[in-house]
Amino acid sequence: MLTRRELLQVAVAAAPLLVGFGNVTRALARQRLGQEDILRFEPLGQVTILHITDIHAQLVPLYFREPSVNIGVGEAAGRPPHLTGRDFLAHFGLEAGSPEAYMLTSEDFDALARAYGKVGGLDRIATLVEAVRAERGEDRVLLLDGGDTWQGSWTALRTRGEDMVRAMNLLRPDAMTAHWEFTYGAERVEELIGMLEFPFLAQNVRDTDWEEPVFDGVAYFERGGVKVAVIGQAFPYTPVANPRWMIPQWSFGIREEELQALVREAREQEGAELVVLLSHNGFDVDHKLASRVEGIDVILTGHTHDAMPRPMKVGNTLLVATGSHGKFVSRLDLRVEGGRVVDYAYKLMPVLADAIVPHPEMAKTVTELRAPYAAELSEVVGETEITLYRRGNFNGTMDDVILAALLERREAEIALSPGFRWGASLPSGAPIDREFVYTHTAMTYPQVYRIEMTGAQLKTVMEDVADNLFNPDPYYQQGGDMVRVGGMGYRIDPTAPMGRRIIDMTLLATGEPVDPDRKYVVAGWASVNPDVEGPPVWELVLDYIRDRRVLGGEKVSRVELVRG
């Protein structure tokens, strides 16, 4: 098999033959992008904030395709981050075929993935962080982790988050907040927090008995002579989007009034000159929050996996969106005078794995953490003739693989799969190993149920999920994407009122309309209910892929987007 270096040599030699593939040719020509280019930055001011978020337990590099559909509703319609593809490139003035196009859009993903390679990897992130700390001095740098760090891989699931705690202790963030962390259950979360060597912040979590804070809400730091308050904001809808029974004594919420009071206390009583919200609310929620809570200088947003090449300013607040899966490290330099930000400089640093030298100590730790599972993870179970991806408002190709497995292995008429935004991608022609399947399925409530539902019940479920995603008020959005449906087609109007978004539900096997009164056999997974019975979803998906060996596109869904 050709190495990447040999492949590039062949490609360059064949460049005259690639006239019809201009984007690919330009990408190959830009392969010289190196670590120095990624780190190049003109420092400014006294404080440097580095931000990572939504790593989803990915210790090693992977492929990750950005969405081709990301619909904004209400005031967010047509506003970043709800732009994709060429519209995204045009808005931010980015060139097709460039590293930025590869990292930030789905345009030419298959070809550009071959040119630029994998992204992320905690050892590459550690290299960038160490370099910035060395350049600026540690007394000027804050590294902040936006959560969704402990979940999303087989090693994290098997160690119940401990592998990520060990790795992150080595990276040395100054604070973190959380979301999927809570799906290990309250007792395990408290155990893991006890292992952390840095603060776990969540101002918006209370106990249900006395409404007292469960975790610290704020931590104070001095950087570059500036007193900085970092406030943590955990995902506010955790007990709704995830199993309530795992955290029965904790309540969540946005808690806007409490947040405003904490910001005032930080400034007026504690003397903070810079206030940073380390948030897992989601971009649109944070956009609204920034317009309503005074005194926040920077919101480091997470949860919705959006990545933008420059901050968005809402009033006096900067919103920073750093993407997911270790693809980026954000750097924000701030000049603070008189208790306010008077200037800033920003760079969204791409973590191109081939361009960055792995950090030796982190690389060694990652290898040790993965060693007990390495043979299992590397087992090849098939290959793909198409690009496999999950991310997007509606079904991706890997979603259809999961749904096809559920339909077949559970002998169901209709299958449901959650619209999670975590999971790797694969370019066409790539082998599929166990690790790839686990990145889409590794969670603490993976049982595949088989039940009967009426057509009316199915519509109610879909309408509820659609409202969570497309409600024009961001405070009623819970993030994620639309529930994936197999065996049934439908049309959806995101702009319609609740209860009227889903239309023309059709059973694909017969072409007949879904009967509201008829009962259908439905398979699904990731139920938030307790005591769900069924095999773990990864077993069904692995068996399905093994039986076929080559995936060429599973035609089990049909979604038509309409506008009223």
Q: 21-68, pLDDT tens digit by residue?
A: 344 444 444 456 899 999 999 999 999 999 999 999 999 999 999 999
* 530 backbone dihedrals φ, ψ, rounded to 5°: -80, 160
CA distances from 403 to 178, 281, 348, 418, 429 (A): 29, 29, 35, 10, 21
State the pLDDT confidence band at 162, using cuts at 50, 70 and 90: very high
- Beta pairing, strands 141-145 & 175-176: parallel
Q: Give the model confidence (pLDDT) of 268-304 as tens digits.
A: 999 999 999 999 999 999 999 999 999 999 999 999 9
Percent of the chain exceeding pLDDT 70 equals 94
Tokens 């019975």 found at: 533
Domain boundaries, the chain: 1-32+69-116, 33-62+118-369, 378-561
Per-residue confidence (pLDDT) for residue 376, from 0 to 100: 98
- 3-state SS record for 464-489: HHHHHHHCCCHHHCCCCEEEEEECEE
Res 564 pLDDT > 80: no
Q: Angle 360-370/162-171 helices, nearest 10 degrees?
A: 170
| Backbone φ, ψ for residue 174 (5° rounding) | -90, -20
pLDDT of 5 > 50? The answer is no
pLDDT surpasses 90 at 480? no
- Phi-psi map region of 556: left, alpha, beta (phi>0 left; psi -120 to 50 alpha): alpha
pLDDT of 361 strictly over 70: yes
Does the structure show a pLDDT above 90 at 394? yes
pLDDT, the chain, mean: 94
Question: Tokens standing for 255?
Answer: 């808690």
Sort 353 into a burial class: Cβ within 10 Å, 0-12 / 13-18 / 19+.
buried
Residue whose tokens read 């200088």: 297
Give the pLDDT mean for 232-255.
97
Q: In the prediction, which pLDDT does 378 show?
A: 98
Instruction: Please report the pLDDT score of residue 338 as a whole number.
Output: 95
Dihedral sign for Cα 516, 521, 524, 530, please.
positive
What CATH code is assigned to 33-62+118-369? 3.60.21.10
Tell me the per-residue pLDDT of 436-479, one tens digit each, with 9 for 90 and over.
999 999 999 999 999 999 999 999 999 999 999 999 999 999 87
On whether the CB atoms of residues 297 and 275 are closer than 8 A, the answer is yes
Write out the two tokens for 324: 């997911």
CATH number belonging to domain 378-561: 3.90.780.10
Q: What is the DSSP letter of 94?
A: P
Largest CA distance in the chain: 72
- Alpha carbon 267 to its chain's center: 32
- The angle formed by the CA atoms of residues 561, 562 and 564, to the nearest 5 degrees, is 150
Residues 52 and 90 sit within 8 Å (Cβ to Cβ): no
Q: What percent of the chain has pLDDT over 90?
A: 93
Q: What is the pTM of this model?
A: 0.94
